[in-house]
Structures are given as structure tokens and as C-alpha cells.
Amino acid sequence: MSKLKGAIVAAKPSVEKTIIGMLEKSMKKGVFDAVIIPMRAPSGDSFAYVLVKDKSLLKDATPLPPTMFVQGAKAVSSVTRLGKGKIKIAAVMRPCEVRATVELAKLGQANLENMTIISMDCPGVLPSSDFLKYPEKNIKLFNEAAKKLDDKMMRPLCQICDKSSMVSGDLHIGTLGAKKDTFFLISNSTKGDDAANKLGINLKDNIDSWQTKVKTFSDEKKKKRKKAHKELKAKVGGIDNLVETFSHCINCHNCMRVCPVCICRLCYFDSDKVKHSAEDYLERAESKGSIRFLPDTTLFQMGRMMHMSISCVSCGACEDACSMSIPVGQIFSMIADETQALFDYVSGKNLDEPIPLVAYKEEELLEVEDSDD
Amino acid sequence: MKRKIGVYVCECGPNIAEKVDIDKVIEAISSDKDVAVIKKFKLLCSADGKKFLEEEIKKQDLTHLVIAACSPKDHEKTFMEVSEKAGLNPYLFQLANIREQCAWITEDKDEATKKAIRLIRAAIGRVRYHSSLEKKEIDSNPDVLVIGGGIAGIEASLQLARPNRKVYLVEKAPELGGLVTNFEKNFLSMKPLSEIINGKIEEINTNENIKVFTNSEVDEAVGFFGNFEIKVKRTDAEDEPVQFDVGAVVIAIGSTLFDSKKLPEYGYGTLNNVITSLEFEKMNKSGKISLKNGKPPKSVAIIHCVGRKEKGYCSEICCMYSIKFAKYLTDKIPSVKVSNLYSDLCIPGKTNQKLYEQAKGKNVNFIRFSDAEITKSKDQLSVKYKDENGSKTNLIVDMVILAPAVEPAVDASKIAEITGIYQGDEGFFEEEHEKINPISTSTEGIYIVGCAQGPKNISETLVQSEAAAGKILSSLVPGRKIEPEVKTSEISEALCIGCKTCLSICSYGAITFDESKKISVVNEVICRGCGNCVAACPSGAASIKHFKFKQLYQEIREAIK
Amino acid sequence: MTKSLKINKSTEQGVLELLKYLLENKKVKAVFTLKKIEKKGAVAYSLIADVKDLQDAVPFYPLMPVNAGNLLSRFTLKGSPDELVAAVVKPCELRGFVELIKREQGSLENLLIISSTCGGVYPTKFGVDGTVEKNLSKYWDAVKKGEIPDGSRPTCRSCEEFAPYVADITVDMLGKNDLDKQCMMFLNTKKAEEIAKGFKGDFSDKQMDSKKLDKAREKRGIEKKKLFDEIDKKMNGIDGLIEIFGKCISCHGCSKVCPICYCVLCEFESSDSEYGPSNFETELRKRPGLRVPPGTLYFHLGRLTHISISCVACGACDDVCPSDIPVAMVFKKVSESVQKMFDYIPGKNVDEKIPLITFKKDEFKEFEG
């Protein structure tokens, strides 16, 4: 684990404005040629990631918007999937978006060589459907709740997130445990060190108070998470409950398409493989009396889970996008915890750690082998 | 185009007929969709049977063929040939095994008949979706790659080049010769080695059939016997790799010595005048055996078996060369006293005992020891050890020569990865069978010779090099044709998202990544059709010819309906 | 002349009786219709082979979880059924299916299509939170009177094509004030007449009352004008479109549920629509910033270009949008203009080719030089 280095930075008039000021300064000094950062959409009712070249646009940016409209990893991937380009870009995202970006880099869907990834302690994010009801009011409510670390309004997944301060990018803004009107600028890599140096920031301060507060916070969330999982398992566990849970699913596949780590150009479950003749379907209907049409709703969900669980970052984009209000994010996140624990893997934590699917260990999973071997 | 499937049930006279009611089978299946004709025959694999099939295919104008008979292992090839002869693409055919998987596993005729019907229907279901596939044929490449320019590689190269085979000899160092260039004499005949080795190197350099790459390494070696695609790059420059094809590969990368620093009790690296055997050979070849202070040693201890316990094997050559060292010393420093300390003495072979007897003498002592420790003793070295009886003894000497265990070359893992062959537990390359196939590997066409295969002396090395050359000359004949696998994987360009999961899964190096299109591409000649990539691809962009989803799905569907 | 079949039961019961008769007497192999599934009250289309399972069928439930045009296309894409299958679908779903058939994405072979004069459906989210169940009686009251049920989809409220064109059997529904006592079905084709023979009901030559349909159409026409005016105000050039689609998250759900969007791999999801670093760098030389991922509005304009000739204004796109963008009304408005240019009503006539592949020598003279 890399040793994190940090500096205490004065945050006047606000954390947000200071971050923007730092980004402006770094663009001026040529540390970055462009920044990917959320900005409010002209319609006022949403936020979008913008690749900003002209630093004067930054004053309208919102580093920590109240909704996660598009998962940041998708934004970064769209810019660098086909190569690293010549310009140096900084991307400002939430920790789960950074983790998804790291997973995408492992899957060849993002090139991070010329990217400096900046994250911050995340208070959670509002479900987009709630946000859309009263955008203006909700921006205010979100900012207040964020300050108080009050997560009641946030996505159900945010409320049980124990990785809201995970540092897997290059730089991180640590607000937890910071004294009034300051924050910690924490570096996790040589790229981060470099950027801080060029900004004249000396990464030699003690960040213990941040690390302690982060641990306390995370431990509390872990307890909440365990409890929530127990309740959820009782509700959705077993094939009958599972089918019931997904009974409203209309197979719109929104969840799959907004998921940052679902990268297939043509999903298996949209391909020819799941298209059968009328006679095949009729046979199934006959053998069961009747079948839902199209069948295999739960198969899609479980299949998708099987394919992406190892990389799931529990962001909840899927749940936000579900047109039928199914708690798909909570279910997938719960299983992802278990899948990843099997391989001692935390998705998106470390760029050098290969995804278990393609990592071979001779001695592994002995508990599922035959005892006669 | 309308399908016309011909179904032929073999009685396998009477292996199948005595269990399966073939008439019932025919009755059940004759009205199935697309079945143009269904007949039975006594023995389809006989000359009459094959003639019958050929005529039927032509007469009935069949578009697909299903044969219900024995195991594909027995006669799939037979019937594919018949098909081809009759003008029907051999891949538009499916064999239903109603013998091993049906008639031979039950006494219940009723059940056997029912199962036969299912199996045949499954074959029909599958064959409907078969596509014609064309055989490929490529010329096998008779050239050979030899990796390693030491004595093993040199000998193999010469044996191959003499009957005019083209050899590519790749050596990491700036010059050919390897370890033996450091030896003044070889231990058996005590004759000078340099003439022999230099003569061979001279022959290599003048032989037009051998292309030598020094300061070079093999970067890539993918393929199979008769068709390996090789990339060689320089270690001292950034040039583009050189590419060429060969039909066989000889791996002769030699060995290295166990790092004696790992046993601090021997004082190597910390005490003056404690040297390794290789260092002593070099010193001896240079002409002057001396201590650090320039004076010749008056007393020398040669310690055998350094690292033997740690490595868990005997390195075979150290006792012999240690005896040779005793000879070097007594020949060149008449009054020197030599003590050979060994934990076990290994002198196999019909003539080696003689050298041992000659070496033993008034000034050469062979002492069995255990638990040695070497420390400084004024200007000399103190070798403390336990003798045969377990009593502690101290020997004061001027110089200590260590005989460390022989280890696999540093590049062994890299070469193993590049070529896809295995290393044994000790790290040496694994032979196909240690007794009956000691120089072949699990990959046909790749041979291991010399110390790369395990510690051995020069004559044994030469034997292996000649054997490898012999094997290659007899099996890799110029003009021979190879038929690469037909049922290969293909990756849809439109659907591949470039996640490279299939690349890491392919055991044959058959998938490469196209950086400009950001997609994975299958090399159809090298692909063996194992299907791992198809299983690993989450979206189904990868698929295998002749094992398409539709074909398998329909087969299963019919089988379990 | 069309024959009609009257059953002295409620409309829904009558249809279910007919379906039961068809299944029991093996006149159809299966029935495709809406059915209550599982326990949570979910309603989904189902393929029913066993007459016992018909008891949970709710053929005219005011919900369209998926446009059945998509489903019928999938059912027949890889081969039509060998025997007759009855399908109960709504008019816009049927029109969607017909448009797909014109593009070789399905077939009417061996399908017995039963549709109705449709009163509209509720947004799918009301099916999840129980609103539909609560409002069922209010819904049927409105339908009886030919009025627009409160809270139904905007596309339904403004729908003037609520009478099916291509159905074998049309069930009298909209404006029928004795829905709960009588079932009236119009047998439009020989197929329907043949299949209904032997069923116990009152066959006659009674025809559909077009007057009540005209009245209903008028009401919906007024609503359409209102909704079109509303959306027109918002669709104020590029800036207006940017406002409307500002909160689009590019999930492409609208495309996936749309019956007309049938491409296996959408152009806008293929590698053709990907940009490399040099594209971004070039763009950044022209403007100060660039929304990423790019192409948000481009996708919608592209989709409009591709499908507007066949859009049946079902409103499935609206329901699936996680950002509550009024996609359906934008598409309906633009599509109607496009379809007018070619005098084309999507889904009306199976044999009428789509304008994209029909050549008329004298056309669009107003655009010529």
C-alpha cells in the first residue's frame, strides 16, 4: 500500500472554491491542459461532465454535484478509450467513479497515462429521480446535508458505503477530520506528488486526523452495511424471492447500460444467442403451462451479475436508472462484496492488481475442490 | 435452399442392431423435418458401406449427412473422407454415437432404442446449422531455431546445418561459446578444450546455413511443429525485432551456478580467497593461479556439494571437476596441498574412477565432511568442519574453492513463458519423459538439450544435441504439408470491445491485439480451437467454427426434448 | 362484410371466454396476452399454453410494460409458429409490429391478432406503486364515456390512432358504455370468422359505431394540440433541444424499448461513433469545453432521423427514461410532420412499403432547384 502524503490547505472562502482555484492555477501553470469536471447543465436541472480547455469556465464548475447523472468513469473512458492523446488532463470525480475508472483501465477501456485523477471524501449522492423533482431546492438541501454528513437523502447504496474516502486515484481532497476552513490535499502517486509540487504545496503535513476520522466513519458504515445486507438477503434470497423481486423488470437493460463496468458492445443478453424460434418458445410455454414473454428476466440479471460482480464498485448508477424502481444496485452490491472477498479483491483499489478472472494462482479456492484430490 | 438431410444408421453388424431396434428408429425419424432419406446398412465403415454412402450422397442430392454408428474417435474421419469424395463438404456431417453411448451401455432394448432416436435427432438438430468449412494446408517449415550459443547449441546447429538445413542460432552474449570457453581442459582426457571449441565456432561462422544472432534474445515464439513464428531482438539496441519462421526449436540456454552468498557460513563475498569453481577455472585458464596478494597458494580446500542440501539434487559434475582442479593444482604448483571436502562422492562412468585414483595421492586428500564453516585466520582461512565420525576438525588453508550446485539459467522462466514449455520443480525445463523421451518437451517440435534440461557434463551434452538434431532431421522433412486446425476461433470486429480477457486466456499465443482498431484478432494458423477464449468472452464476440451457439443449442434442445 | 360476435358477459370476460374456447379446442396452440405474474402485482405479457393459466390473464389491463410489437417481432423473428397463436395487443403495439414486419423483423403468419379500440395506458411506474390498481374503476369509467383517463400517458391522451387497422378481431372498447355487461367483437378477416365458428355467442352483421369513435378522436385531437403547443415552445431551435435533453444520461433506454429501433448494434453504440484523442483535441481548439461523453443530443437527432417515418407514438420511451425527459412528445411531433410529408401512416397497411425505400419520380418538387 502506497504511503499517503498530505498537506493542510486553507479552504477560504469554501472547499469548493479552493479546489476550483487550485485547478485554475494548475491550468495556468501548465500542470494540466484540460480538466474533466462536473458542471451544471444549461437547463439547470442536471449536471454533466465537461472537458474544460478554457480555464475561465472553471468558475462555473461543481466538483461535488448533488447527482451522479453519468458515472464519471464513462466520461473518462469516452475520452481515453482509444488512446492517451497529447494533452494532460485532470479528472475530478467521486471515489466510486475513480474506482470504476481504474477497473476500466484494467479492461483496456481507459488510458490513464496522461490523466491525473482527483477524488474527494464523498457524502453520498441524491437519487436522480428525487433530485429532478425540485432541482434548485435539492442543490441547497444536498449541500447542507453534505456538510453535516447526513446521508438520509442519499442513494440507499451511499448510506451503507464504507469506501467513501478510498483513495485509488492520484490526488484526494480529505475533508473529514480537517480543522475548520481547511482540507487535506493527499497524494497517492508520483503524479499526485508532481502536481502538488508544481502548485507549491508541500506534502509534509500530518494526516493522522483524516485517517482516524475516515476509519471511524468507515467502520460505522461497515456495521450499517452488514445489517442492511442481512435484511436484504432475507428479502431477496432464494429463487422464489429473486424472481418476485425482478417481477416488475421489463428488461429495458438501463441498468446494464449505465453501469461503468458493463463494457460489452453488444451484451450477450441482447445478442442472437437469446433469440429463439416461435417453436422453441412454445415448447417452453407448454412445459410450464405459460411463460412470461420474453422469458429469462432473472437470467439476465443473474448473468449480468456473474459477468461484472468482480468489478462492481457499488456506485448505484444501475438503481438510479431502473425504470421500475427495483433495488438492483443494493442486490448487486451485496453480492459483489462476497464475490470480491472470495479472491481478496477490492475492485478499483489498485491499478496494478489484475482482475481475478485473468489472474492464475495455483493454490486457490481449495474449499470448493473435491476432498479426494 | 431447402435442406436434404440423409440419415444412415449402421447396424455395426451386429453391435448396434442387437440392442437398438433400427426399424423403429427409422420409423420415428423418417417424417422429421428436413430428413430426405433414412436407411440402414450392415457395416458403414466397410468398403461396401463407404461405396453405398458415396452413391447415396450423390443420388439423393443430399445437403447434409447424419450417420448413426460408433464413436467419432473411430470413424468420424472415415465418413468425412467419404463425404468429401462424394462432393459434400465434410463439415456438413454429424456422427451420432449410438454404439458406445447407447447400444453398449445397456441391456434394455427399449431404452436403447429411445436413446438412439434422441441421439440421432440431436445430430440432425445440430447438422441443420452446420456451415461448410474449408481445409487449410501450409508447407511445414524445415528450418530450426537454436536458442543458446554454448556448446550444446553449437553442436546442435552444426549437426543440423551439415545436411543443409537452415539454422538460426540466437545467443545473448556478444560471443558464442558459453561456459566451456572458460575451461582450460576437460576432466576426462585432460586435453585442451579451446581448440575443440574454437574449431566448432569457426565452422559455425563459415557455414552459410547458419545465421548467428549474438547480443540477441528470442522475444516471441508462437506456433506449432512445422510452423513457429519467431521474433528475435537485440539486447544492446532498440532495433525492430527480426521475424522469421521455423519448424522446430532447440533450447540450449545452459545453466548458472547457485549463489554461494546464500550460505554465509562459506564466507563467499566476505572473505578473501574464497572463490567459486567458475572463478577458479577462469583464473586457471588465464595462466596464473594466485591468491589476492599475488602469491600462489600453498594449501587449498575444495568444497564439494555447496548448496546441494538446499537445492535437493546432486549436480553431477562438481566432483569430477573438483578432481580436475586437484590435478590442475598439483600439476602447476608442485608442493601444494589440496583437500577435497565432500559430503558424497559421485564418480559414475566407465573411466572416471581412473582420474580419481590418479588425483588421490600424497598431497591430495579426500575428506568426507559435514557442517563446514569458513572464517578468517590471520592471513589464511580456517575451514572448520565435522569429519566422518562427527568430530570437529579445523583445516587451515590459503584458498577455498567452492563447488556450488548447478542451477537453471537465469532466463529459464522467460524462455518457458515464451515457448510455452514447462519447468520442473527445480527450474530446469521438463522433458516429456525422463527415461524414454528426455529431450522432447510437451510441445511437439521443441527440444531441450544440455544443462538447460539438467546438470550434465560435456559429453552428455553433445549426445543430447546430436539426438535433437537427429529427431528434427527425421521428422521435419522439407516438403511436408501441415493442415492447421479448421475449427478455429473467430472474433467479431464489430463486437469486440478490446478488454483483452481472451488474450490472457489463450494458451497458444494465437490471439494478438490490434492497437489501431483496439480489438483482439485470432491467428487462424496457430489457433487450436480449444474454445477458452469463447468461454471467457462476456459478450460472445468470440465464437468457434463448427461449435457455434446455435449448433450446440439445437443439439441439446433435441436431445432433451 | 365484417361479422360481429356478441357475448353477454363483460367485455374482458367475453374475450377470455373466446380465448379459453380457442385453447381448449386446440384451435390455437397458445395465447399471447397480459397476465398477472408473481405475487407483487406485476403485469407482464405471457405466452399461455395451458388453459388453466388463463385465469390470471388481464388482456386489457391499462399498462404497457413493453411494447408488444417488440415481443411479437421476437416471437416470430427466428421462425413463425407451426400452428396458430392468438395475440391480444394494443393498436399502437400492432402498428409497431407491422412496421417491423416491413423491415423483415417478424411475420403475421399463424398469428391471430386480437386488438381493441384503446382507451390508453398508464405510465409503467404507476404499475409498480399500485396506482393503476387503485384507479382501475376510474379508468374504465372514462373509457366507457370515450373520455381521456386521468393520468394516462401523454401519447395516449393525444392519440388519434386508437382503432387498429390490421387486427383479425377488434374488440369494441372506447366509448362503449356497457363494457361491464356486454362484449362486442368485430371479426375483420376470414381467419377470424373461421376460428370463431362453433363458439357459443351471437353472430351478426352489426358494424362498429364510427360516430362514437369520431367523438373520442375529437377529444384527443384537442389534447394533442395542447401538448404539441407545449412542446413546441420548448423545442426552440438547438438551444431549446439542449434544454430538453440537458439531463439526458445517454442510457439509450428510449431506443431499446422503441419497437421501431430494431438494429442489433445501434450505430451510436458502435465503434463508428467513438472518438479518438485527436478528435477531442481538435474540438477543444474550437471551443472552450466539451461535454463528455459526447454526442448526447446527436443521438436523439440521429434516432429521429432513423425512426421518425415509422414512430407509432406509443410512449414507451417516455416511461423508460430515468431523467423524465418528454421524449415521446418530441418524437411524436416531429414524426407526425415527417409522416405527413409522405402521406404515410405507420402500421396501417402491411403491404405498403416504408417511404425510405419507395421511389416516386414526382416528389418534393418544392425542394428542387
Predicted pLDDT of residue B540:
87
Q: What is the mean pLDDT of residues A297-320?
A: 96
Question: Do B414 and B453 have their domain in common?
Answer: yes
Q: Which residues contact residue C279 at a Cβ distance below 8 angstroms, ignoring those fewer than 6 apart?
A: none
**Chain B residues with beta carbon closer than 8 angstroms to that of A263:** 497, 499
- Considering only the C-alpha atoms of chain C, give the largest distance between any 2 of them, rounded to a whole number of Å: 76
- Chain B residue whose CA is closest to A265: B495
**Chain A residues with beta carbon closer than 8 angstroms to that of B121:** none
Q: What is the mean pLDDT of residues B448-462?
A: 94
Across the interface, of B498, B540, B561, the residue whose CB is closest to A268 is B540
The position carrying cell 567459486 is B276
Decide which of B87, B113, B133 is a domain's last residue: B133
Q: Which of residues 68-97 of C touch A (CB under 8 A)?
A: 71, 74-82, 85
Q: In this model, does residue A22 exceed pLDDT 90?
A: yes
Question: Do B73 and B174 have their domain in common?
Answer: no
Across the interface, of A267, A271, A358, the residue whose CB is closest to B501 is A358
Specify whether the CB–CB gap between A318 and A300 falls below 8 A: no
Given an 8 Å threshold on Cβ–Cβ distance, is B495 in contact with A268? Answer: no
Q: Give the 3-state secondary structure of residue C330.
A: helix
Q: In this model, does residue C16 exceed pLDDT 50?
A: yes
Q: Which of residues 308-347 of A touch C (CB under 8 A)?
A: 320-325
Query: Is B169 a domain residue?
Result: yes
Q: Which of residues 466-495 of B touch C (CB under 8 A)?
A: 494-495
Burial (CB count <10 Å: 0-12, 13-18, 19+), residue B418? buried
**CB-based contact (8 Å) between C263 and chain B?**
no
Given an 8 Å threshold on Cβ–Cβ distance, is A43 in contact with C244? Answer: yes
Question: Do B337 and B226 have their domain in common?
Answer: no
Question: Do B306 and B220 have their domain in common?
Answer: no
Domain extent, residue B540, equals: 489-545
Q: Give the 3-state secondary structure of residue B56.
A: helix
B236: closest CA of chain A, how far (Å): 27
Q: Give the 3-state secondary structure of residue B149.
A: coil
Single-letter code of the amino acid located at A158 = C
CA–CA distances in Å: residue A111 to residues A262, B413, C277? 17, 30, 10
Mean pLDDT of chain A: 94
DSSP class of A45:
S
Given an 8 Å threshold on Cβ–Cβ distance, is B495 in contact with C265? Answer: yes
pLDDT band at C106 (very low <50, low <70, confident <90, very high): very high
How large is the C-alpha radius of gyration of chain B? Answer: 33
Return the closest-CA partner of residue B165 out of B140, B138, B200, B202: B140
Q: Which of residues 3-42 of A touch C (CB under 8 A)?
A: 34, 36, 39, 41-42
First to last CA, chain C: 49
**pLDDT tens across B34-85, in order?**
999 999 999 999 999 999 999 999 999 999 999 999 999 999 999 999 999 9
CA distance C245 to C255: 15
A369: closest CA of chain B, how far (Å): 21
Q: Which residues contact residue A103 at a Cβ distance below 8 angstroms, ignoring those fewer than 6 apart?
A: A73, A260, A261, A311, A313, A347, A348, A355
Percentage with pLDDT > 90 across chain B = 82
Query: Is B183 a domain residue?
Result: yes
CA distance B126 to C317: 39
**Chain C residues with beta carbon closer than 8 angstroms to that of A129:** 322, 324
Q: What is the mean pLDDT of residues B217-245?
A: 94
Given an 8 Å threshold on Cβ–Cβ distance, is A266 in contact with B495? Answer: yes
Query: Is B482 a domain residue?
Result: no
Specify whether the CB–CB gap between B138 and B484 falls below 8 A: yes
**Chain B residues with beta carbon closer than 8 angstroms to that of C270:** 494
Given an 8 Å threshold on Cβ–Cβ distance, is A266 in contact with B541? Answer: yes
CA–CA distances in Å: residue B31 to residues B34, B125, B558, C83? 8, 14, 15, 18
Predicted pLDDT of residue B188:
66
Given an 8 Å threshold on Cβ–Cβ distance, is B495 in contact with C271? Answer: no
Question: Do B45 and B107 have their domain in common?
Answer: yes
The position carrying cell 522467460 is B414
Question: Do B94 and B26 have their domain in common?
Answer: yes
Q: In this model, does residue B528 exceed pLDDT 50?
A: yes
Single-letter code of the amino acid located at B552 = L
DSSP class of A3:
P
Q: Check which CATH number belongs to the domain holding B534 and give it.
A: 3.30.70.20
Single-letter code of the amino acid located at B247 = G
Percentage with pLDDT > 90 across chain C = 91
**CB-based contact (8 Å) between C137 and chain B?**
no
Given an 8 Å threshold on Cβ–Cβ distance, is A132 in contact with C284? Answer: no
pLDDT band at A1 (very low <50, low <70, confident <90, very high): very low
- Give me the total of CB pairs closer than 8 Å, taking one residue from chain A and one from chain C: 228
Question: Do B272 and B391 have their domain in common?
Answer: yes
DSSP class of B398:
S
**Chain A residues with beta carbon closer than 8 angstroms to that of B557:** 280
**Chain C residues with beta carbon closer than 8 angstroms to that of A101:** none
C261: closest CA of chain A, how far (Å): 13
Mean pLDDT of chain C: 95
H helical segments located in chain A: 15-28, 72-80, 95-106, 128-133, 135-148, 156-159, 190-198, 208-236, 239-245, 254-258, 278-288, 297-308, 317-321, 328-342
Cell numbers given for B310: 538446499
Cell numbers given for C158: 393525444
The position carrying cell 379459453 is C20
Query: Is B175 a domain residue?
Result: yes
pLDDT band at A227 (very low <50, low <70, confident <90, very high): very high
Given an 8 Å threshold on Cβ–Cβ distance, is A272 in contact with B550? Answer: yes
**pLDDT tens across C284-308, in order?**
999 999 999 999 999 999 999 999 9
CA distance B500 to B507: 14
CA distance A141 to A127: 13
Burial (CB count <10 Å: 0-12, 13-18, 19+), residue C351? exposed
The residue of B492, B495, B514, B549 whose CB has the most chain C CBs within 10 angstroms, and thus the best one to mutate to test that interface, is B495
Any long-range contacts for B69-74 (C-beta under 8 Å, 24+ apart)?
B69/B9, B69/B10, B69/B12, B69/B16, B69/B44, B69/B45, B69/B95, B69/B96, B69/B97, B69/B98, B69/B99, B70/B10, B70/B12, B70/B15, B70/B45, B70/B97, B70/B99, B70/B100, B71/B97, B71/B99, B71/B100, B71/B101, B72/B97, B74/B45
B288 half-sphere exposure, CB direction, 13 A CA radius: 7
Predicted pLDDT of residue C356:
87
- Chain B residue whose CA is closest to A109: B499
Predicted pLDDT of residue B353:
87
Question: Do B118 and B237 have their domain in common?
Answer: no
Q: What is the mean pLDDT of residues B225-252?
A: 95
**Chain A residues with beta carbon closer than 8 angstroms to that of B495:** 264-266
- Give me the total of CB pairs closer than 8 Å, taking one residue from chain A and one from chain B: 49
Specify whether the CB–CB gap between B8 and B40 falls below 8 A: yes
- Chain A residue whose CA is closest to C255: A252
- Chain B residue whose CA is closest to C82: B33
Question: Do B229 and B329 have their domain in common?
Answer: no
Q: Check which CATH number belongs to the domain holding B342 and give it.
A: 3.50.50.60
Query: Is B378 a domain residue?
Result: yes
Burial (CB count <10 Å: 0-12, 13-18, 19+), residue C36? middle
Instruction: Pick the more confident residue, B361 or C274.
Output: C274
CA–CA distances in Å: residue B369 to residues B338, B341, B373, C366? 15, 6, 11, 110
Question: Which range, of A32-46, A351-365, C191-205, C313-327, averages the lowest pLDDT?
Answer: A351-365
Q: In this model, does residue B203 exceed pLDDT 70?
A: yes
Query: Is B70 a domain residue?
Result: yes
Look at phi and psi of residue B307 and say left if phi exceeds 0, alpha if psi is from -120 to 50, else beta: left
Across the interface, of B494, B536, B540, the residue whose CB is closest to A273 is B540
Query: Is B561 a domain residue?
Result: no
pLDDT band at A2 (very low <50, low <70, confident <90, very high): low
Question: Do B111 and B37 have their domain in common?
Answer: yes
Given an 8 Å threshold on Cβ–Cβ distance, is A82 in contact with C275? Answer: yes
Mean pLDDT of chain B: 93
CA distance C286 to C61: 53
Q: Which residues contact residue A29 at a Cβ distance below 8 angstroms, ignoring those fewer than 6 apart?
A: A198, A199
Specify whether the CB–CB gap between B158 and B207 falls below 8 A: yes
- Chain C residue whose CA is closest to A80: C277
Given an 8 Å threshold on Cβ–Cβ distance, is A265 in contact with B504? Answer: no
**CB-based contact (8 Å) between B516 and chain C?**
no
Question: Do B14 and B120 have their domain in common?
Answer: yes
Question: Which range, of A355-359, B190-194, C330-334, averages the lowest pLDDT?
Answer: B190-194
Bridge partners of C170? C115, C186
CA–CA distances in Å: residue B526 to residues B138, B144, B221, B414? 12, 18, 11, 21
Q: What is the mean pLDDT of residues B421-441?
A: 91
B281 half-sphere exposure, CB direction, 13 A CA radius: 22
**Chain A residues with beta carbon closer than 8 angstroms to that of C32:** 293
The total domain count for chain B is 4
The residue of A293, A294, A315, A328 whose CB has the most chain C CBs within 10 angstroms, and thus the best one to mutate to test that interface, is A293
B123 half-sphere exposure, CB direction, 13 A CA radius: 28
CA–CA distances in Å: residue A42 to residues A319, B376, C243, C247? 25, 83, 6, 9
C236: closest CA of chain B, how far (Å): 37
Interface of B with A (CB under 8 A): 494-501, 504-505, 518, 536, 538-541, 549-550, 553, 557, 561
Query: Is B554 a domain residue?
Result: no
Question: Do B424 and B366 have their domain in common?
Answer: no
Which chains does chain B touch, 3 or more C-beta pairs < 8 A?
A, C
Q: Give the 3-state secondary structure of residue A239.
A: helix
Which chains does chain A touch, 3 or more C-beta pairs < 8 A?
B, C
Across the interface, of C30, C127, C281, the residue whose CB is closest to A85 is C281
Q: Give me the numbers of helices (H) and strands (E) for chain A, helices first please.
A: 14, 8
**CB-based contact (8 Å) between C264 and chain B?**
no
Q: Check which CATH number belongs to the domain holding B59 and give it.
A: 3.40.50
Burial (CB count <10 Å: 0-12, 13-18, 19+), residue C353? exposed
- A 10 A CB-CB count for A48 gives 23
CA distance A154 to A330: 13
Distance of CA A39 to the CA centre of its chain: 18
